[in-house]
Amino acid sequence: MMAKSPVQPIKIGISSCLMGEKVRFDSGHKKNAYINGVLSDYFDFTAFCPEVEIGLGIPREPIRLVRMTGEVRCIGSKNASLDVTDKLSAIAEKQRQWHEGLCGYLLKKDSPSCGMARVKVYSNDMPKREGVGLYAKTLMTNFPFLPVEEEGRLEDAQLRENFIQRVYVYSRWKAIESQELSLTNLQAFHAQHKYIFMSHHQTKAKELGALLVGTHQADLRQLAGQYLELMTAILKVIATKKNHVNTLQHIQGYLKKQLNADDKAELVSLIDDYRQGLLPLVVPITLLRHHFRKHPNAYITESYYMQPHPGELMLLNSI
């Protein structure tokens, strides 16, 4: 089994205004308390403001996305001759080198440069929330597997947990990519994350595992690319209580010969309490971890579902 890599600061890109930098068009900021007060303990943030980087001043005229002759341009809200469309795309391309070292990115919602989705696009002065910020669009095109989220969506506990879990999984994926790629390493990575995948999508998790079984594919890079694409799709699916319960029950099966009747009944009861929404996920996981400390199982010990990073474990209190 592949050994777990030591914890290193995980590098995350972020819109500068979310860190409290006064780079907004009105000389203000959008400092986010959760990002600065909680996530900064676990992640190493690199702040960047594309609008300032392309030379727009502080303060400045606000810019907006406008549909013009079949394409979306980013222009001044008052001065239509101010067109920064190409500059915003180009500045994102220019950042490729440091973007490649990231394991996630947090963007400012609604921004014509940084918004991830549902940014206002104006047509005849009538807005529709159908756009993507131009810097963000190029970033996500260049790095389609990079976990990306907007700060506003972090207020939702499940979306927050989903993003942070994707960041941790992606950081571990990048760690094995940096090694000499082998089928053994891919299979070990899958074994460590199998139960996480199951909690997101039972069927696709089986498909993901099947990619690595009995394969004679000579091109490991191609295989790794297929794996990463499917893994990313799985992790974008929000894990449900039903899938978590199914996963917990699978893991519980490893203890069927070790636990006495009372311990089994307690575990079954806690899992059912979680299913009914009476307890957070961390409670049955903590009890399972307690039993596996007394009755070790090598496969379960290596599972990140059961042994998450403290930052991940903290988040389970909310779901």
Give residue limits of the domains in the chain: 10-155, 174-319
Residue 313 burial (10 A CB sphere; 0-12, 13-18, 19+)? middle
Distance of CA 207 to the CA centre of its chain: 21
Query: How many residues make up the chain in this entry?
Result: 319
* Cβ atoms 275, 284 nearer than 8 A: no
Amino acid at 87: K
Element at 11 (helix H, strand E): strand 10-15
Q: pTM here?
A: 0.92
Give the CA distances from residue 221 to residues 182, 208, 227, in Å, rounded to whole numbers and listed in that order. Answer: 9, 16, 10
Checking DSSP bridges between strand 126-131 and strand 119-123, what pairing results, if any?
A: antiparallel
Query: Residue 64's beta-bridge partner residues?
Result: 75
Query: Residue 122's beta-bridge partner residues?
Result: 66, 127
Distance of CA 172 to the CA centre of its chain: 12
* Cβ atoms 306, 244 nearer than 8 A: no
Q: Is 143 helix (H, G, I), strand (E, B) or coil?
A: coil
230-261 residues labelled b (16+ CB within 10 A) or e (exposed) = bbbebbeeebeeebbbebbeebbeebeeebee
* Cβ atoms 43, 12 nearer than 8 A: yes
Residue 144 preceded by cis peptide, ω within 30: no
pLDDT of residue 221: 87
Write out pLDDT tens, residues 128-160: 999 999 999 999 999 999 999 999 999 998 899
Which residues, given as ranges, of the chain have pLDDT below 70?
A: 1-7, 215-218, 309-319
Write out pLDDT tens, residues 56-96: 999 999 999 999 988 999 999 999 899 999 999 999 999 99
Separation between Cα atoms, residue 130 and residue 76, nearest integer Å = 19
pLDDT of residue 311: 60
pLDDT of residue 1: 42
